[in-house]
Every structure is written in C-alpha cells, then in structure tokens.
C-alpha cells in the first residue's frame, strides 16, 4: 500500500471511532438523564450525580443536547447552580429531605424484614447527610435561567 492510502484509511478509522464515541456518550447521557429524573421519585436513587453525568456526556458529544439540558425549565437552573456554586437552593434541600423521609417512612411501614428496614434507615441518614452537607444558595446567588 502507498503511504497516502494508509493515511486515508487511518483518517477514516479515526472518524468512525469519533462517531461511535459521540453516539455512546449521547446514549450514556440519556440513560443518566433518565436515572436522574427517576431519582426525583425514588429516594435511594441520587438525582444530582446522574444529572451532572448527563451534562458531562452531552457537552462532549452534542452541543444541542447540552444546551437543551442547561436551559431546561426544571433541571437547567438546578444544574447551573450546582456546577457554578457547588450549592443548591435552601428550598430544594427542604423539599428533598421531606420527600426522602416521607418515601422512606412509607417503605419502612410496608416492609416486614427488620434488616431491610435498618438498611433503608441507614441509606436515608446517608442521603440526608449528603443533602445537608451541600451549601445553600442565598437569593443573591440564585440564577433561575442559565
């Protein structure tokens, strides 16, 4: 083979690899977004890490999907504030803790197994500690629309 042909084949292979990587990142970002949304309703599934992972995947694969996520009417400000200030609004903390312990109380009251109940309480304490460890944003720092 001529060096020019080898160079052309090499460039085509790189383009294919980049294309595959792009679609894998879009897929991973979409799965992460789905799990993040699901985490809103299931207390043991963390919302924030999945949303941050989705933004990480989207920014490396699709500018359009990243912009959509950052400007989303529900998740946009949440992700922006977390990435910019490493903090969340105080109201988000309060609602998260109320919903977490309400869901935990319902789950614990339904279950019969003592060990599972203790595990749920331990998870609830761990998640609560994480939520409380986040900085709270005051009104002067909150940006509702990125």
Tens place of pLDDT for every residue, the chain, 146 residues?
A: 566 666 767 777 788 888 899 999 999 999 999 998 998 887 667 787 888 899 999 999 999 999 999 899 888 888 888 888 888 888 888 888 888 898 889 889 998 999 999 999 998 899 899 889 888 887 766 555 44
Domain for residue 103, yes or no? yes
131 domain-assigned? yes
Domain carrying residue 69: 3-137
On whether residue 126 sits in a domain, the answer given is yes
Q: Angle of helix 3-41 relative to helix 47-61, nearest 10 degrees?
A: 160
User: Is residue 37 one of the residues assigned to a domain?
Assistant: yes
The number of distinct structural domains making up the chain is: 1
Cβ atoms of residues 132 and 116 within 8 Å: no
Domain-embedded: residue 145: no
Does residue 143 fall inside a structural domain?
no
d(CA 12, CA 8): 6
75 burial (CB, 10 Å; 0-12 / 13-18 / 19+) is buried
Q: Is 93 domain-assigned?
A: yes
Does residue 132 sit within a domain? Answer: yes
Give the H/E segment covering residue 88.
strand 87-89
């Amino acid at each position: 083979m001529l060096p020019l042909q080898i160079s052309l084949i090499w460039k085509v292979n790189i383009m294919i690899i980049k294309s595959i990587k792009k679609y894998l990142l879009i897929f991973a970002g979409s799965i992460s977004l789905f799990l993040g949304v699901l985490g809103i309703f299931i207390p043991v599934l963390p919302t924030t890490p999945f949303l941050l992972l989705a933004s990480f995947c989207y920014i490396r694969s699709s500018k359009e999907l990243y912009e959509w996520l950052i400007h989303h009417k529900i998740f946009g400000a949440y992700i922006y504030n977390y990435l910019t200030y490493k903090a969340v609004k105080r109201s988000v903390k309060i609602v998260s803790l109320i919903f977490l312990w309400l869901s935990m109380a319902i789950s614990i009251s339904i279950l019969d197994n003592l060990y599972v109940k203790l595990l749920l309480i331990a998870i609830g304490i761990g998640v609560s500690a994480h939520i409380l460890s986040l900085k709270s944003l005051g009104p002067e720092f909150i940006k509702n629309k990125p």
